[in-house]
Amino acid sequence: MNITQALTIAGADNGGGAGIQADLKTFQELGVYGMTVITAIAAQNTTGVQGVFPISYAGIAQQLDSTGADFEPHAVKTGMLYSAAIIRLVASKWRQYGWSNLVIDPVMVAKGGAPLLQQEAVQALIEELLPHALITTPNIPEAELLTGMSINSLSEREEAAKQLVQMGTAYALIKGGHDAGSGMIVDVLYDGQSFHYLENARVNTRHTHGTGCTFSAAITAELAKGSTVVAAVTTARAFIQAAIEDELGFGAGHGPTNHFAYQRRQRGER
């Protein structure tokens, strides 16, 4: 049996909606064997983050080495990396093991507003890791932090995508979910030469916890299976749209998305 493998390097979410847990669910739903390197443990629920507990540098390094010594991931995604030291470590191990198809989800702030990336780590992400990326997938606030721009229009999203590609990522995907000015969500994908636009109807729901993690994990899974970037993003957009539309309704705050929804639709179930 030839099963593709994907690795996620990210934080753990005990509520299961985001981070490592969301990534593994998404990999599994898309037929990819998932592996993990855990960088931090977040104590959180749908109402917010109550605490973040980083894994030691040595513990993260050993996880990376254990993975690199015995597995061959066909794609790798990063989520919450937390500190500049961890970012530099991941970049070093990336080079050491010759991994490919890096998807950077620059997790910086939780849905409820809690910071998930230390301020000094932003520059390390730009300098150390972004040049290795096949695709980087910020939302609008994350793109503003990475580029130093204020983003209030589609043209400014396009300019931010261009700047990210100039920083080294091969593709930049600026997600449009934080743009409240339209009934449609427009995600902007830039490949260094041309733009691709993915449009979906906005869903009026508070159950959107983990959307960025899930979206980037779906891209990673599809890249691991050999899809082109455009095809991977297109499938991932359908995956996250279904996950938002078919809401689970958990919790008193920002509830998790429905990782079952896409495959159930593929099978004709709802």
225 as an active site residue: the answer is no
19 as an active site residue: the answer is no
Which residue among 77, 175, 220, 257 is the active-site one? 175
Decide the pairing of beta strands 33-45 and 102-104.
unpaired
208 as an active site residue: the answer is yes
Which residue among 26, 210, 220, 225 is the active-site one? 210
251 as an active site residue: the answer is no
Report how far Cα 144 is from the mean position of its chain's Cα atoms: 16
Q: Is the dihedral of CA 51, 133, 220, 152 positive or negative?
A: positive
111 as an active site residue: the answer is no
Which residue among 34, 79, 176, 212 is the active-site one? 212
- Give per-residue burial for 124-150: e unless 16+ CB within 10 Å, then b: bbbebbbebbbbbbbbbebbbbbbeee
Which residue among 39, 211, 220, 257 is the active-site one? 211
Torsion angle (degrees, nearest 10) of CA 180, 183, 188, 194: -130
Closest CA to 42 of 17, 66, 25: 17
Which residue among 46, 208, 235, 257 is the active-site one? 208
Which residue among 213, 225, 235, 257 is the active-site one? 213
168 as an active site residue: the answer is no
Q: Which residues are catalytic?
A: 175, 208, 210-213
